Amino acid sequence: TRQWRGVIEEYRERLSLRPGTTPVSLREGGTPLVPAQLLSELTGCDVHLKVEGANPTGSFKDRGMTMAITQAKEEGAQAVICASTGNTSASAAAYAVRAGMVCAVLVPQGKIALGKMGQALVHGAKILQVEGNFDDCLTLARGLSDKYPVALVNSVNPHRIEGQKTASFEVVDMLGDAPDVHVLPVGNAGNITAYWRGYREYAADGPATRTPRMWGFQASGAAPIVRGEAVKDPSTIATAIRIGNPASWEFAERARDESGGLIDAVTDRQILRAYKLLAQREGVFVEPASAASVAGLLQAAEQGQLEPGQRVVCTVTGNGLKDPDWAVAGAPQPVIVPIDADAAAERLGLA
């Protein structure tokens, strides 16, 4: 047996890195592909969850960040910057520590989950809360990296997309071929772009015989691709995907069109229902944005867009611990008991 070595070492020959480059890695990737029992029952399909919350910083961003930081270090950068709804900043902060770099992050004020802010803080990032949304933060970050000696590590950095495509490789390596459908939440649209690239490369080079249809889901209050125009004031409880003008918009449309897929919207209510279903019926705790993929799958099934018997993979992008407010909200307060077995048994309904 050997330990998983991280996405660069595992897939080096398929990544755009100079030979001999030393990876900056936390051994990201190699995440579980979990059969989803209830979702399979509900849809009549063979549904699997790609659990990206199992990455070192708790989200899929680590796959791209190992590449972006490795490349930045190779080029001699001493500082990196990103705009983020939270997960990119948490990942950048951790990998910058490994690389001995300064990390600056720009986040929308008051709109990032506490767990993600805690990560950026504990890893020692320089954090600015911007009086604007994610799109404003990205504009600022791009401007700063143009003018000052600081490398931009958002997914507009091509190395991020390169790293993130490894998730498709893992799915094919585990299932033996590409699924019929791959479902993802869509925010800045980098991940759907990356998965589509990974699937195409594997189909072109042999490990897969085909590519899946790509299904992307945005939150209905932040659904610019579905509406066909930028959203000025995006709003959703899924703060990770509260984005009104995605950087990889055109690539996402290309993934949709070339794969015969779709990009649609789900409401916050649907997202929360899927969030609870994943936790209560599949045992998988994700953050709200991640549940958008499963909410979308259920919506598509109800609309008759799924053929029974198909193999489906849903990526759940981030760990539920990032944003525990939604787990606690509305749940009953656990009862208080004395140190007494009879009292405990009674309250548990055992007596």
- Cross-strand partners of 59: 318
The nearer residue to ligand F0G, 65 or 208, going by C-beta atoms, is: 65
**Is residue 185 at the binding interface for ligand F0G, with CB under 6 A as the rule?**
yes
Q: Kindly state the smallest distance separating residue 60's Cβ from ligand F0G, in Å.
A: 7
Residue 86 touches ligand F0G, criterion: CB under 6 A: yes
Cα 47 from Cα 313, distance rounded (Å) = 6
The verdict on 58 binding ligand F0G (CB under 6 A) reads no
Cβ-in-10-Å burial (0-12, 13-18, 19+) of 299 comes to middle
Is the C-alpha dihedral spanning 107, 109, 111, 115 positive or negative? positive
Amino acid at 98: R
Decide: 241 and 226 in contact? Cβ < 8 Å. Answer: no
Q: Pinpoint the alpha helices (H) of 148-233.
A: 158-164, 166-175, 190-205, 224-227
- Using CB under 6 A as the binding criterion, the count of chain residues that bind ligand F0G stands at 22
The secondary structure of residue 289, as a DSSP letter, is G
Told to check if 211 binds ligand F0G by CB under 6 A, we report: no
Sole window of 5-13, 42-50, 85-93, 257-265 interacting with ligand F0G (rule: CB under 6 A): 85-93
Q: Are 90 and 58 in contact (CB under 8 A)?
A: yes
Using the rule CB under 6 A, give the single segment among 5-13, 38-46, 189-197, 325-333 that binds ligand F0G.
189-197
Judged by CB, which is closer to ligand F0G: 101, or 138?
138
Nearest-approach distance from CB 309 to ligand F0G, in angstroms? 28
Give the nearest distance from C-beta 176 to ligand F0G in angstroms. Answer: 26
Measured distance CA(92)–CA(97) in Å, rounded: 9
Which residue, 76, 89, 137, is CA-closest to 115?
89
Nearer to ligand F0G, 46 or 60 (CB): 60
Q: Is 56 near ligand F0G (CB under 6 A)? A: no
Q: How many CB atoms lie within 10 A of CB 226?
A: 19
User: Minimum distance from CB of 89 to ligand F0G (Å)?
Assistant: 7
- Determine if 259 is a binding residue for ligand F0G (CB under 6 A): no
Please tell me whether residue 271 binds ligand F0G under the rule CB under 6 A: no
84 forms part of the interface with ligand F0G (CB under 6 A): yes
Q: Is 191 in the site for ligand F0G (CB under 6 A)?
A: yes
DSSP 239-302: GGG--SS-TTHHHHHHHHHHHT-EEEEE-HHHHHHHHHHIIIII---B-GGGHHHHHHHHHHHH
Which residue from 188, 220, 245, 270 is in contact with ligand F0G, where contact means CB under 6 A?
Answer: 188
Handedness of CA 240, 244, 246, 251 (dihedral sign): positive
Q: Do the beta carbons of residue 180 and residue 312 sit within 8 Å?
A: yes
> What is the C-alpha to C-alpha distance for residues 81 and 96, in angstroms, rounded to an integer?
10
Q: What is the DSSP letter of 33?
A: E
Residue 88 within binding range of ligand F0G, rule CB under 6 A: yes
Closer residue to ligand F0G in complex, CB, 11/195: 195
Residue 87 binding ligand F0G, by CB under 6 A: yes
The conformation of residue 287, written as its DSSP 8-state character, comes to -
Single-letter amino acid code for the residue at 92: A
Binding mask 283-322 for ligand F0G (x = CB under 6 A): ----x-xx--------------------------xx----
323 binds ligand F0G (CB under 6 A): no
> Which of 7-15, 78-86, 117-125, 200-208 is the region at the interface with ligand F0G (rule: CB under 6 A)?
78-86
Nearer CB in complex with ligand F0G: 46/135? 135
**Nearest C-alpha neighbor of 23 from the set 65, 82, 86:** 65
Q: Which residues bind ligand F0G (CB under 6 A)?
A: 59, 61, 84-88, 155, 185-191, 240-241, 287, 289-290, 317-318
